[in-house]
Structures are given as structure tokens and as C-alpha cells.
Amino acid sequence: MLSFEDFSGQSAHIAQLHADFANHTFVHAYLLCGPRGTGKKSVARLCAMAAVCRSDGARPCGECGPCRRVLSDTHPDLHTIVPEKGKQTIGIGVMREVLDQVATRSFEDTTKVLVFPEAERMTPAAQNCLLKTLEEPPQDTVFFLITDQPGTMLPTIVSRCRVIRFHPLTQQDCEKRLIALGQSPLDARRRARMAEGCVGQALQIDDERLALLERVTKDVFSVHRPGDVLATVNLYKDDKERQKLVMDLLETAVRDILLAQAGKGTLEESGYAREAAAYARAVPLSGGLKLSASVTRARMMMASNVAFASAFESVLLNISEEYAQWPW
């Protein structure tokens, strides 16, 4: 079972949250915000467990009946509110139903916990409906609004919540967590880099994506002359599903190349092709910065519907031009 300590690096308020829930001194609404994969949902679940736990000792114990029912998602007083099937948003109808449930007695005579894992999906009308409840909160009820887009919440809602911000871990801490969760050290390093320190995201990276990082960096940094560009563009131009992923991977690679060029990291054994490491050695930081700017431009081109092939080509041309200036 995960514990509060596992998330201590992700928010400055984890210990306080733990104490509030273990001692039943929590407030009635929390807004947990921060990037995807930083532990918001897991922490909300731990809080729910601590709130309903029947142990006399440390809470949550993870072993009493209520704790086990939270772990298996069968606790009758733990409600997770998501859009109805086939819908993208949580409308006022769903919200009214939920709040009606809250107004009735709890099933197990414990705290009722309502979790909105994607709170940004609430429509403004649903948020206004929720606001009325937050203004006169029912006894022994706690709301968790979880989002990576806190800007979508009405300011009036935010002002009624205790806001807890979550952050990605440093590369090293993320690696350590992944190793503790059973990843090999090599995989942990690769995943931590690609997910930029967000443990949850790192765990979701599949093996195919890890393999693609090596393939993309091999193809891209083998472009030594302008004459090599077209053949490499052709490798990816028809693979629509992967095009955004290719740009994502390239962005990750460029960030790590810049660090290597600045003497602050190494590309070896991080999942990159040796061609990427060779580029970082051959081209100085000024060239890496130009490459970074060209990837940003390519992204903007794609966002304004320029074909992937043209955007990708502009990045590859930049790489070949840099190679031309520096002996390799």
C-alpha cells in the first residue's frame, strides 16, 4: 500500500494533510492541482482512507474493513464523480444527484468523501450548484476537486477550497520512486526523463514508446547533410498517429542534449541512440539552442495546421546545417 510519505516530495503540504485526516481536523473542501501524474488522486484516496479508518493506531491502517473497502473501491461513502457515459462534461443534473446523496445519512456512519478526479469537466452551472453546497457544507463531508487545469475553476469555488499544489519530482527523486515501485534502474532513468518527473506519467509510458525514443533520435541525428533530410521525413510522414509523439520525444531529447552540452548531464544509457550523444559532443550549446528554437517553431507550425512533413523537415534542415558548421 502507498503511504503519505511516498508523496512528501510532491507537495509541501502532504504531512499537514496526513495529520488533518488522521486527526479528523480536515476542512470540507480541497482543491488538489498540478500536472498529470504527480500523485493527486493517490493522495485523495489516502485522505479518504484516513477519514474512514477505524484503527486506534496510525491512520490509515490499510487493514480494517473501511480501509479495505476504500482500497477495493467498494466503500459506500466514497463517491467518485465523473461525466456520464458518452459525455465529456459533468452537468448540473449529475451534480444535483450527487449533492442529494450527500444530504442523506452516510452508510457506515463515517465521513462522506466526494472525489472529482477531473474537476475541470464540471460545467459552470454544475460548479455554481456545487458552490451553494460549499457555502453551507454538510456535516462530516469532504470534497476533493482534482485538476491539472485550475484556471477552469470558478474563483468563487477556489476561494472555498484549501488549495494544495502538486509538483513533479526532480529527475533523481523520480528515478528513486520508480525503482522502489519495481522498475529496473535503466528503465527508471529513461521513464523519469520522458515524464519530466511525474511518477504517474512515467509508469504509463509503454515499452513501445521507450523503443521509439531510440529510433527517433537515431533517425533524426543521422541527418548530416541537407541531402539526408527527405529520406528521414519519409520515414515518418505517413504515420499520423505517431507524429505528435515524434515531436514530443524530440522535445525531450533536445532538452537533455542542451543539458549535456552545458556539461550538466549525460545522454548515455538514457534510452537515446548514440547518434544523439554524438550530436551533443560535436555541436556546441549555441547550436543546441538553435535546434531547440527550431523544434518550438515546428510545434507552432503544426498547431496552425502546417503539415507534419514541412515542420519536421525544418527541424532536420537545422540539424544538418549545424553539423555542416562543426566537424563530426
> Where do contacts with Zn ion occur on this chain (CB under 5 A)?
53, 55, 60-61, 64, 67
CB closer to Zn ion out of 58 and 211:
58
Please state the closest distance from residue 52 (CB atom) to Zn ion, in A.
8
Task: Encode 75-105: b = buried (16+ Cβ within 10 Å), e = exposed.
Answer: bebbbebeeeeeeeebbbebbeebbeebeee
Nearer to Zn ion, 49 or 195 (CB): 49
Least spacing, CB of residue 47 vs Zn ion, in Å: 13
Least distance from Zn ion to the Cβ atom of residue 162, Å: 23
Least CB distance to Zn ion at residue 111 (A): 13
Residue whose CB is less far from Zn ion, 61 or 92: 61
* Min separation Cβ 37 and Zn ion, Å: 27
Cβ proximity to Zn ion, 21 vs 279, nearer residue: 21
| Nearest alpha carbon to residue 22 among 2, 45, 52 | 52
Cα dist from 20 to 5, 17, 95, 271, 320, whole Å: 15, 5, 27, 42, 57
Instruction: Identify the sign of the CA torsion 299, 301, 305, 310.
Output: negative
Rounded CA-CA distance 229/219 in Å is: 10
Please identify, using beta-carbon distances, which residue of 65 and 138 lies nearer to Zn ion: 65
In angstroms, rounded to a whole number, what is the distance separating the alpha carbons of residues 91 and 143?
17
